[in-house]
Amino acid sequence: MYLIRKINKLPLLINDMTVKSKEDYERQRNKRVAGMRSVLDYAMGGVIIFVGVFLLLRHQFDLALNKRFPPDTIDILLGALFVIYGGWRIYRGYKKNYFK
């Protein structure tokens, strides 16, 4: 009788184990995806900040680009926006708040 009760509970135990393993898989997958997105946010934020700083400081460099297209107020505004957006991307990569 004890053995029959034990066999009847077996499908419930197997089903419970598969649910837990699915949850573990989802948790691990979300952690990997968050890590990859975080690295992407750091890299893209760094590139965007670099472009923004270049736009802000390009009048100090002797470039052929400056002779053909002289720096103006739009360059300063775009440079400031790029630096702010790049900072936001780095902050988002630091927080890793993707699935909440």
Per-residue pLDDT of the chain (100 residues; tens, 9 = 90+): 555 555 555 555 555 556 668 888 888 888 898 889 999 999 999 999 999 999 999 989 888 888 888 889 999 999 999 999 999 999 999 988 877 6
Cα–Cα dist 6/33, whole Å = 40
* Pair 55, 76: CB distance under 8 Å: yes
The secondary structure of residue 59, as a DSSP letter, is: G
Burial of 85 (0-12, 13-18, 19+ CB in 10 A): middle
For the entire predicted model, the pTM comes to 0.73
Q: Any residues with CB less than 8 A from the CB of 76 and at least 6 apart, and which?
A: 55, 56
